[in-house]
Copies of this chain bind each other. A is one copy, B any other.
Amino acid sequence: MSDARSGLQLRSLIKKSGELEISLLSVPTAEPGPDEVVVRVEATPINPSDIGLLTGAADLSTVKASGSKEAPVITAKVPEAGMKAMAGRLDESMPVGNEGAGVVVKTGSSEAAKALMGRTVSMIGGAMYAQYRCLRVNECMPLPAGTTAAEGASWFVNPLTALGMTETMRREGHKALVHTAAASNLGQMLNKICLKDGIGLVNIVRSKEQADLLRKIGAKHVVDSSAPGFMDDLTNALAETGATIAFDAIGGGKLAGQILAAMEGAINKTAKAYSRYGSNVHKQVYIYGSLDTRPVEISRTFGMAWGVGGWLLFPFLMKVGPVEGQKLRERVISELKTTFASHYTRVVSLQEALDPANLAVYGKRATGEKFLINPNKGG
């Protein structure tokens, strides 16, 4: 194991020439300021949101491996069409990894910092795909005794996104919600939250296997968009729950519009008077992911009281403010082994994360496949 003074850090670089390069750099560990700590990172997940930064617009079918076993390098081509969206990051070597957990090995001089010495903490703030990470005390949450770094690694992105959905539902005046790609890690978490909090949730999945998986963990309303009776099933589930807001991970194609149409159909089952503008109940779809990158296609057959828009965790946290945000963080930490437990397909080292065979698996962002990096594994 390397000493804490320096360590490997994963970097993603897109060159003006149109080449992606992912590599491991040995970087000196920053000296902690008074209110900072240095954490030996032991667990950091590969989330879909990390893959966006990691591989950018590169074509993963062009991946090539080079470098050594200790310092592997991955390169791939970025198609011309994808380069425009990369303009802001060209020729800048970027660290990756939103969240993680590890052990505090060095602290600054403040009481709050010193209190964390030796503690296992969860972290947020980027650059987690590294052996050491220097960060502010308020970017850490100490984990309860008996909770491992692996158990605390995915404490922020998925748990707070799922809580952000039910919280947004409440704040915008809806009483139940819809979730798509609902068999994902995030979707399973959202089911556990809704079961615990008594919130109606309509799960939309894309296969019978995913529907079965969700029913097995207790999901009450599961509809399969690949089944022939999809629109009827969805309308019935919406009428039963009264859901008028949806969070959609898929984005492209007709699904967002279908959800709005089914919501209107569910509302009209109990409508009393004709309105040529449709119901006046506001129906909302928030797109928070882009599993399907095609255009969103919305056939407006559901009146005028509707909205479709983007939704992201960090703007949501900005909107609710630090006090509410801290409450949500504390709930996650206290339910890490139950509601917010994550499941991983594999635990890999930094070097193994750069193995093209692994990249080919996690790069698909497929439901049910989730990798955890232990940057100090066998290091």
Contact = CB atoms under 8 A, between A and B. Distances in A.
A275 B308 contact: no
A305 B288 CA distance: 10
15 contacts: A52-B276, A56-B276, A88-B271, A88-B274, A89-B274, A280-B315, A293-B300, A295-B297, A295-B299, A296-B297, A298-B308, A305-B310, A305-B312, A306-B309, A307-B309
Contact of A295 (B271, B298, B309, B310): B298
A303 B298 CA distance: 19
A103 B115 CA distance: 81
B290 A295 contact: no
Given A89-B274, A274-B89, A276-B52, A310 B303 contact: yes
**Residue among A277, A303, A315 having the largest count of chain B Cβ atoms under 10 Å:** A277
A297 to B, nearest CB: 5
How many copies make up the complex? 2
Ranked 7 nearest A-B pairs via Cβ: A88-B274, A307-B309, A304-B310, A296-B298, A295-B299, A89-B274, A304-B312
Nearest to A288: B304
A298 B301 contact: no
Contacts of A142: none
B300 A251 contact: yes
Contacts of A257: 295
Contact of A304 (B89, B273, B308, B311): B311
Given A88-B273, A92-B274, A303-B310, 15 more contacts: A85-B301, A88-B271, A251-B300, A252-B300, A257-B295, A287-B300, A290-B300, A295-B297, A295-B299, A296-B297, A298-B308, A300-B310, A305-B315, A306-B310, A308-B309
A53 interface: yes
A92 to B, nearest CB: 7
B304 A307 contact: no
Contacts of A280: 315
Interface in A84-123: 85, 88-89, 92
A279 B277 CA distance: 33
Contacts of A298: 295-298, 308
B297 A297 contact: yes
Nearest to A306: B310
Contact of A312 (B251, B277, B299): B277
A287 B301 CA distance: 13
A128 to B, nearest CB: 16
A56 B303 CA distance: 14
Contacts of A296: 296-298, 300
Contacts of A85: 301
A271 B88 CA distance: 9
Contacts of A295: 257, 297-300
A307 to B, nearest CB: 3
Contacts of A303: 310
Interface string A54-91: 00100000000000000000000000000001001100
Contact of A307 (B268, B276, B310, B315): B310
A369 B287 CA distance: 39
A257 B309 CA distance: 11
**Residue among A280, A301, A304, A315 having the largest count of chain B Cβ atoms under 10 Å:** A304
A228 to B, nearest CB: 19
**Residue among A53, A88, A252 having the largest count of chain B Cβ atoms under 10 Å:** A88
Given A88-B271, A297-B295, A276 B309 contact: no
Interface in A247-296: 251-252, 257, 268, 271, 273-277, 280, 287-288, 290, 293, 295-296
